Structure 1
Amino acid sequence: MASNMRIGGLASGMDIDQIVTDLMKAERIPLDKLTQKKQFLEWQRDDYREMNTSLLELDTQIFDGVFKQGSYAKKTISVSDPAALGVKNINSTVDFSGTVQVDTLAKAATMFSKASSTINTTDKLVAQGITAQTLTIKAIGKDGKLDQGVPIEITADDTIGTLIDKINKSTGVNAYFDEQKGTLSIIAKNTGDVAGTAEIELSPSGNAGDFWTAMNMHSDNIAASTDVSAGGPFGSVGANAALTYNGMPIERSSNNFTINGVEFILKQENTGNVNFSSSTDTDAILDTIVKFADKYNSVIEKVKNELEEKRYRDFQPLTTEQKDAMNEKDIERWEEKARSGTLKGDTILSGALNKMRMDLATAVEGVTGATQLAEIGITTSSNYLEGGKLVIDEDKLKAAITADPNGVYELFAKDGNSSATDGLARRLRDTIKDTMNNIETRAGKSYSVNNTFTLGRNLDSIDDQIVRFEDRLLQVEDRYWRQFTAMEKAIQRFNEQSMYMMQQFGGGM
């Protein structure tokens, strides 16, 4: 189309391409500002998300450390005869001691085939006379009681091997088939004696084609243990552990059991009294608190640095053309200043910093031991420029842990009905959660869609403005070219007329 023709200075001798390019540079200035604004918002969004990552790391450190009761239950335990008795602290925050005499160990019930079977491991069970059926296996549970039974299906595809796998994976017994002898053995996974009944019950049995009948198994372990026919008995009953705990005879269905938050592991019988005692592992608890303080201090420092980082307004994000004219080192130095101060004076972070300081500075109401960090040797730095970092007097903290580890636990993790009665770590986690939610509302997460958070909606708006402005620039550039093309055509016509007139004057002389 004639209107789209561009004539580049043939008539005027002017560099129209360069003139239009220079004119468009001026026209593009608002677009460059939009692009720079978009880049700054993207940097700000990324820096917000980085702050959330740091806050999450602090929250995880708190949860896995000073927030857990087990962190304060770390004990050094001594046992006079470790070969006979094992002792492990589970959640006792107070020291303990005593004696255990192991009279008998808990034993698991067993039963096995009273005669060999004709079952082989190669063929499917149904091809060997076993009907498709549902077996039911009841066994003693960890609570020392007989369970309700687990159904096991024998399908047309099952061999003895696949059936044994099903039994071992799903029921309270372990089964083993000896293919050389053609016999099956079963042992309860849990030890102990179920009073008044068997510890293993098998059904159905007694009919042709029933699996247990084919394997020559009794219906339960009591029947198997009392069968004294040739080769018998064919099983045993379960037995509870019998012991004397601090002078008191007791029984347990398992050799592993817990009393008052302490786990006991019985290993040998008839060893006489075994003495045990514990002492607080002060160093381990101290290490947990120090790790919390170090992480807290690093996050406080990072937040404070972000809030006070200088904003260099003369250093705007570079455009593509500006980058093309610079070397990599200059670009790096420029963008370091351009990206500085994205979160300077941010109200979310400054509010969180103040709240976190108050969380740790306010006394905990309703606890029996220390009510403030200072009482256990943890204070804030006297240097106000450090923003309230924690300083630990290790000797004083060790003494507090040794004297009352449970009191230190309550100071950090007490679950109260309000902020005033909540432990310090619990308050801190609530503040971290609120801050992270506020940041997500403003900056989203890495997988968030732009229209679900504030900065994302701002970025979408800028993108729309950029698209509209680019369309406008195309129209402006086209207008410039139409104007210069019209000028070139006018000059061309003038030149043609001048040549004609000169030819006319020259022809008349």
Structure 2
Amino acid sequence: MRIGGLASGMDIDSMVKELMTAEKIPLNKLEQKKQYLEWQRDDYREINKMMFNFDNLIFDSVMKQGTYAQKTVSVSNPNEFTIRNLNSTSDFSGTLQVEQLASAATMFSGSSTGIDPSKKLSDYITGTQTIKINAINPDGTMQDKPTEITFDPAEETIGSLINKINSVSNVSMFFDSATGKVAATAKNTGNNKDGAEIVLEGDFFINVLNLQLDNQAAATAGNGTEGQNAKFSYNGLATERASNTFTINGFEVSLKNASNTPVTFSSSPDVDGILEKIVKFVDQYNKLIEKVNGDLNEKRYRDFQPLTAEQKESMEEKEIELWEERAKSGTLRNDSILASAINKMRSDLYSPVSGAEGLSQLAEIGITTSNDYLDRGKLVINEKKLKEAISKDPNAIYELFAKEGATTSEKGLARRLRETLDATMKNVEEKAGKGSSTNSTFTLGRNLDNIEDQMDRFQDRLIQIEDRYWRQFTAMEKAIQQSNQQSMFLMQQFGGGM
């Protein structure tokens, strides 16, 4: 601890602090510059995050064919069947007459097994056992290879073995403790034109569960049923399916009842669903260009530099907030990367799509540029015109946004936009990096590292300067003290002579 001023009576500590305050002015400027660059870096990253989110929205909405495949399907008697669109961009209509629903093959024990489900199977069979189960697939064919299960009767009960069968095979089994019988049902519906739908192999099935070897034999014995296909007529054409749920022309049909009565159905574009996706795209585009335009035109207050820690200590919290609001303003003003991106995005959306068979411009579907110059290129939607375009040909709108092409002019509007966003995000990342970037990998980061190095060197210099001041004041104090001592000596000498 340094204590000065004992000889001179001066407040040396305060004097050194005041001198160092002046010496620290260049360091404060470096700290302010560093803070400003950090604000600028963060503002760049905020823009990049918005662009990234907008890019994902484009991909998941207006560029996705499924967006335009949304259909509203009406059925004259929904109790007979339901229809939903999977991936068709065309409409689907006609008449369906359901004659028979698909059902699964079954079989069950001819008589009680007499098994106690709590006992190990070794009470009924001995030695390592292997059973095989073959059953119908969802498409109406049989498995290429039966499912095999090898087990030790001393380790299994009927319940544990049935659980294994149910988990690995296409058959579901159930032991009814009330009757002592086992029921087996194919997990998939349908009829196997070449034979049985359930085929079992193994002494366990025959000698322990009292089951037939397949469901056809069980049906003949009165202990089971054969699987059957769904039978129906589509626009007068009689046909069959192994399942009650199947696909026709990209639409999923689910049969519910077989009344053998003609039922009409028709589909049309889900105008509201498609409209919602396009409106969301426009809204996010407008928010992005509003943000970028705002940053490009935000005023820079050069008289409001970032506050130092010492300055903040002498200010109220509200004063600091108002000051920094202006100090942070204009970090991206007139930025060339963002200005170029905005111009390119406008060009992407307003230039016609070359070679398009249907629509070629946004205006054709009711999306135009705002007439208010303060909106700076925001899009506005004529909802009535857009709905008409969706109703007429949603696939044409998909092509307008997502068309592929060898050149930019031939590409769809959204495809162009994503390329511009991708290029801009890369340029911004080169300048401002991202959250996981190290400073050495981007321009502002390298500038920040350089300022840190300057600050470290200046801090070392300040320590030397402060030491010099203290040495000088200490030397002055010593000189004053010697002078005081000499004066006292002389006074004593003169006093003695009296």
Contact 1:224-1:236 within 8 A present in 2 as well: yes
Structure 2 residue identity aligned to 1:225: A
Please show how residues 280-299 of structure 1 align to structure 2 within 5 Å. 280-299=269-288
Q: Does 1:254 align with 2:205?
A: no
Q: Does 1:190 align with 2:191?
A: no
**In the TM superposition, what is the alpha-carbon distance from 1:219 to its structure 2 partner?**
4.3
Q: Does 1:225 align with 2:223?
A: no
Query: Structure 1 residues 159-168 or 349-358, which shifts more?
Result: 159-168
Change (3 A) 1:183 1:312: farther
- Superposed CA deviations along residues 15-53 of structure 1, whole A, max 9, x for unmatched, are 111111111112222221222222112212221221122
Structure 1 residue identity aligned to 2:331: T
Gap runs ≥5 in structure 1 = none
Change (3 A) 1:121 1:478: farther
Say which of 239, 244, 251 aligns to 2:228. 239
Secondary structure in 2 aligned to 1:415? coil
**In the TM superposition, what is the alpha-carbon distance from 1:464 to its structure 2 partner?**
3.0
Change (3 A) 1:212 1:480: farther
Quote the residue 1:338 is aligned against.
327
Contact 2:94-2:266 within 8 A present in 1 as well: yes
Query: Structure 1 residues 36-45 or 337-346, which shifts more?
Result: 36-45
TM-score normalised according to structure 2 size:
0.90
Quote the residue 2:172 is aligned against.
174
Quote the residue 1:466 is aligned against.
455
**In the TM superposition, what is the alpha-carbon distance from 1:158 to its structure 2 partner?**
6.1
Quote the residue 2:65 is aligned against.
69
In structure 2, C-alpha distance between the alignment counterparts of 1:136 and 1:310, rounded to whole Å: 80
- Superposed CA deviations along residues 399-441 of structure 1, whole A, max 9, x for unmatched, are 2222222111211122334433322122222222232233233
In structure 2, C-alpha distance between the alignment counterparts of 1:351 and 1:125, rounded to whole Å: 78
Quote the residue 2:409 is aligned against.
420
**In the TM superposition, what is the alpha-carbon distance from 1:309 to its structure 2 partner?**
0.9
**In the TM superposition, what is the alpha-carbon distance from 1:154 to its structure 2 partner?**
4.9
Change (3 A) 1:436 1:501: same
Contact 2:3-2:13 within 8 A present in 1 as well: no
Q: Does 1:380 align with 2:378?
A: no
- Superposed CA deviations along residues 211-254 of structure 1, whole A, max 9, x for unmatched, are 7864444444344434x1xxx42x33322211111111111111
Change (3 A) 1:249 1:313: same
Change (3 A) 1:73 1:466: same
Structure 2 residue identity aligned to 1:40: Y
Contact 1:312-1:341 within 8 A present in 2 as well: yes
Structure 2 residue identity aligned to 1:34: L
Change (3 A) 1:449 1:174: farther
In structure 1, C-alpha distance between the alignment counterparts of 2:435 and 2:115, rounded to whole Å: 60
In structure 2, C-alpha distance between the alignment counterparts of 1:451 and 1:18, rounded to whole Å: 41
Q: Does 1:300 align with 2:328?
A: no
Contact 1:77-1:278 within 8 A present in 2 as well: yes
Quote the residue 1:106 is aligned against.
102
Contact 1:130-1:211 within 8 A present in 2 as well: no
TM-score normalised according to structure 1 size:
0.89
Contact 1:6-1:482 within 8 A present in 2 as well: no
Quote the residue 1:140 is aligned against.
136
Q: Does 1:51 align with 2:51?
A: no
Change (3 A) 1:350 1:135: farther
Q: Does 1:265 align with 2:265?
A: no
In structure 2, C-alpha distance between the alignment counterparts of 1:363 and 1:84, rounded to whole Å: 47
Contact 1:7-1:485 within 8 A present in 2 as well: no
In structure 1, C-alpha distance between the alignment counterparts of 2:45 and 2:26, rounded to whole Å: 29
Quote the residue 2:485 is aligned against.
496
**In the TM superposition, what is the alpha-carbon distance from 1:159 to its structure 2 partner?**
5.5
Q: Among all aligned residue pairs of Structure 1 and Structure 2, give the percentage whose two residues are the same amino acid.
A: 59
Structure 2 residue identity aligned to 1:49: R
Contact 1:115-1:183 within 8 A present in 2 as well: yes
